[in-house]
Amino acid sequence: MPADRLVSRASRRRSLSSMETVSSGEAAICPGLTHRPHAASSQHRASRLSSPRGVGVFGGTFDPVHRGHVASIVDFRDRLSLARVLVIPAGVPPHRDTPASSGAQRLEMLRLAFEGETRIEIDDRELKRSGRSFMVDTLASIREELGASEPLLFALGMDAYLTLPTWHKWEALTRFAHIVALARPGIESVLPPVLQAWEAGRRVAPDALLDSAAGCIAHLKLSQLDVSATAVRDRRGAGSDWRNWLTPAVADYIETRGLYLQSPDAGADDGGPARTPAEPGRLAGTTNPA
């Protein structure tokens, strides 16, 4: 699943003028509200299942990638019938400690975890970027590749979403993509006033996100496994059971290379189902689905 398959050479050359169509709507009402503010009809939903469209983005430190990440990313793809989901490991997270494993190791673990899955691509653009990684820059680069009309959906865990006002240029995120805040079923979060105001004119049902390219916000409830990368590292370092929280291929990779044998709490957490890190927003198990 090489990152260079994401777009063709032609799409990479799309002019920035096409971006302006998306970017100019930063302060405008979400275009999805104009067309379809409510959930899609069963007929409309069925037609989408037969022809997936739209690109999802799911970021995280993935240190290491665990079953919670895998389940959430697959669910995100299937629930919204996305044509593909880009799984993007963070380079140097602005608000997290340095990851315990290298970028190359985290990239390989992701490839092992999703081997055999369709419509999921591992994207290493943040690992190639020098300096700190900011999600707004990542979304801008993807939008430039896709052009102005393709729906782009950035998913992050609810814990991370609540910290969004602390992110670098957070209000610009909807210039390039829709925002999908992932929550556990049965758990309601109280949004701070700044997010309540930001959602006004932008909040739509999840299915409505595919009616436009960017600018809207939706809350999507996903079942998330109660596991976090921190817990995996701590158990591994303490000699406790940890393999069951990972796919066999990832667990074997960690054991073979002697990863995470340091003392508990070392390294960075990229989230676990409802414990996502701050910027650049990684679903905690989704982690993002954390």
Most confident of 8-12, 115-119, 274-278: 115-119
How far is residue 202 CA from its own chain's centroid? 19
pLDDT band at 275 (very low <50, low <70, confident <90, very high): very low
Single-letter amino acid code for the residue at 279: E
| Distance in angstroms (rounded) separating the CA atoms of residues 232 and 66 | 8
Q: Is 62 left (phi over 0), alpha (psi -120 to 50) or beta?
A: left
Dist. CA 89–CA 3, nearest whole Å: 12
pLDDT grade for 283, boundaries at 50, 70 and 90: very low
Alpha-carbon dihedral 136, 149, 151, 145, rounded to 10 degrees: -50
| pLDDT greater than 90 at residue 207 | yes
Query: Is the per-residue pLDDT at 197 higher than 50?
Result: yes
Q: What is the pLDDT of residue 262?
A: 76
State the pLDDT at residue 50: 64
pLDDT at 91: 86
CATH 3.40.50.620 fits 3-257, yes or no: yes
DSSP label of 189: P
DSSP class of 166 = G
Q: By percentage, how much of the chain surpasses pLDDT 70? A: 72
43: pLDDT confidence band, cut at 50, 70 and 90? Answer: low
Question: 61 versus 33: which is more confidently predicted?
Answer: 61
C-alpha–C-alpha distance, residues 137 and 36, integer Å: 29
pLDDT at 133: 83
- Whether the bond between 99 and the residue before it is cis, its omega within 30 degrees of 0, is no
pLDDT greater than 60 at residue 138:
yes
Query: Which two tokens mark 17?
Result: 């003028």
Q: Residue 186 in contact with residue 158, Cβ under 8 Å?
A: no
Q: Is the peptide bond before 280 cis (omega within 30 degrees of 0)?
A: yes
Name the band, by pLDDT with cuts 50, 70 and 90, for residue 184: confident
Mean pLDDT of the region 77-96: 88
Long-range contacts of 5-12 (CB under 8 A, 24+ apart): 5/121, 6/86, 6/121, 6/123, 6/142, 6/145, 7/145, 7/146, 11/145, 11/146, 11/147, 12/144, 12/145
Q: How confident is the model at residue 282 (pLDDT cuts 50, 70, 90)?
A: very low
- Tell me which amino acid residue 269 is: D
Rg for the chain (alpha carbons), in Å?
18
Q: Is the pLDDT assigned to residue 279 strictly greater than 80? A: no
Give the pair of three-digit tokens for residue 168.
Answer: 């670098």
Is pLDDT larger for residue 187 or for residue 151?
151
Residue 160 has pLDDT above 50, yes or no: yes
DSSP H helices, the chain, are 9-12, 17-23, 31-35, 42-50, 67-79, 103-113, 125-128, 135-146, 158-162, 173-176, 193-199, 229-238, 248-257
**37 vs 204, more confident:** 204
**201 has pLDDT over 80:** yes
- Alpha helices, DSSP H, located in 164-219: 173-176, 193-199
Q: What percent of the chain has pLDDT over 90?
A: 62
pLDDT beyond 60 at 244: yes
Q: Which residues partner with 154 through β-bridges?
A: 57, 179
Position 129 pLDDT exceeds 50: yes
User: For residues 202 and 47, which has the higher predicted lDDT (pLDDT)?
Assistant: 202
Using an 8 Å Cβ cutoff, are 204 and 30 in contact?
Answer: yes
Average pLDDT value for the chain: 81
pLDDT of residue 28 exceeding 70, the answer is no
